Structure 1
Amino acid sequence: MLITTRQRTTEMLRTTLSTSRNALLTVLVAALLITAGCNGLGVGETDTGPDGTTSTPEPTATPTPTPTVPQNGTDLRSISLEQDAGRTFTSDLDGGDPQRDGKYYEPVEFAAEAGTVVNITLGANSGDPMVELRGPNGTVIDLNDDGGMGDAANLTMVTLLETGQYTIIATSSEPNEAFMYLLTVEQFIPPEQRDELYAGDTSSWNRTEQLGEFGYDFANAFDKSVNWTTISAISTNSEENYTVVTYTINPKNYTVDKMVDLDAAMLYGYAGMDDYYRTNDNGVVDGSWAPERLYFRTVTPEGELYRVSYLTSEEARTYMETENLDRYYLTLWVHRHFGPAHPSYVAGADNATSTGEIGNRDKSEEFEIR
């Protein structure tokens, strides 16, 4: 029965795509020409959202002197939020750096205005980094050891309360560790200020902005091609390189034809969008912005998970090259899991999920942008 249902649904999808492919592509391109490059988000590459992490110690209000910046060497000493936000810098902790409690450290300064919200990530390919943020008067604002992915240190959604020069102390968790570290500092732009960023230079956008722009463009094209549901939420995870789009449907109005339309929009929408980003050199979008995975999450009006699936960029490109719809749709089917609101949901089954965490989707690192 499963194979028969799948074959029947695939035939319906083939018919749907064959009759609407050109129209959908036209809508897609038109939507991109209108919206691409206009939805900058200004949020961090490793944003985890307002809930932050659980490993960040309580900040102390005790002023302590900021270490003196060494004058020799070629290590990282300062960055600019205006020019460098979202970029990842590499530097080294080594014997040429000063020590505190037996740990090498490098102070990296940046200027910021009061009210600025930043996300700071300190990672390393080897070694265990620790990051500390100090205010203009040397006060320790926050510090973290393992708040990010793996051993990365992460300060999330830190509000800077005064205008002045801030100092990031890049150091290690253990004494006498020497390693190359990767530092990323990103500025969160509140929604009411995002219009100012939309007009900015897209070449300076961080990874979350790029993935978010892809999500916005996909949503815009989808909403113009499917008239019975809309994308109600968009989330990104720059660490895992994916975007999530959430559709709200009312199961009471469920019909096979409608769900076929939804699947068709998922399948060809992602393939067409991915292809557009990768093949159009228009100075607005860029192929590298396309997410490695696009998750399709369907919920009820009450927010209950109905189903979730995903496609990869490789699968989308393979379809564009081969036009093998059976294979392309099968991947969507294989990746599909049912949520508690779906009548086929069976707790503990291989094709069931109560949280939506499938295919290496790490929800703890997601940032909702819509």
Structure 2
Amino acid sequence: MLRITLSTSRNALLTVLVAALLITAGCNGLGVGETDTGPDGTTSTPESTATPTPTVPQNGTDLRSISLEQDAGHIINSDLDGGDPKRDGKYYEPVQFAAEAGTVVNISMRSPTGDPLVKLRGPNGTVIDLDDDDGMGDAADLTMVTLPETGQYTIIATSSEPNTAFTYYLTVEQFIPPEQRDVLFAGNMSSWNRTEQLGEFADDVSRPFDKNTWTNITGVSVNTDENYVVLTYTMDPQNRTMDRMTDLDASMLFAYSAVDGYYQRGEGEVNASWAPERIYYRTVTPDGELYRISYLTAEQAEDYRRTQELDQYYYGSLWAQRTYGPAHDSYVEGADNSTSTGEVATRDKSGEYIFV
């Protein structure tokens, strides 16, 4: 969560909201050496000149760099394919990112069709860590890796099996200790900036919403330019029944509407200007794969407060605004209602500030 303590009056409010919601909603291996080369022509001789087999795709997505500022915590998709460099019969993509000494990261590589292997190299080329199957299923995870120096790091995204090509999903999370996050919310609330105001709203919504015992909020981010907040939560497959998902849809509306109403009334130290125009709810599987993204608008929250009706109009609007991820049966790559990265038509992730 963003902050540990609230004022007594606001704790009382959130206790009431929670009760109402519950009642209503029911380091060796593959890598980039000094002679490695990629399709972009950087540095000298490839370690293997073997011709890819004809069955391997040649023109997939190429991922060569990410930014911890803009991409941390987000799912990025790319492809191992015949156009990538190759070593010991295995295709790989070298993905670089800049970081300062002492930064702590979690790196995860997943694929629905392949068996990933991930390695992290330091600025001087030494192997810091590697993994094959420490994640769920065949996922490769590097957990709580402390980066020893400031510079350019390289993630080697590759396969455990030779001559295999597949789409993969890469996530790099930057761990920010709670004591550092709390500094953002220090001082008088009247002097908070827009990031802190939206973060407070996200925290207030997450508390009653997270009281569903079959979900667990794992991420919070805000975008001040686009005026929205994002809550990411995990859900086990056994809980994805029609009844449970319908209750979850209702909880989304209840939590947003109740907290938005509290802000609109200007009670306590908050006011209407702190409330976002939209809130996104990202559902992910326990191994971090995107299941779906749903969003609600301030107008929908106000309509519910005014009518107190959960009718087909509300559910129809929510379903029309829903986008599916690769873990969902309705996902179709390239379709308007599908996304593998979390980008949707009304969400520009480039300006997001990630709290957790």
TM-score by length of structure 1 reads: 0.48
Higher relative contact order (CA 8 A, sep 6+): 1
Which has the larger share of helix?
Answer: 1
TM-score by length of 2: 0.50
Pair member with larger Rg: 1
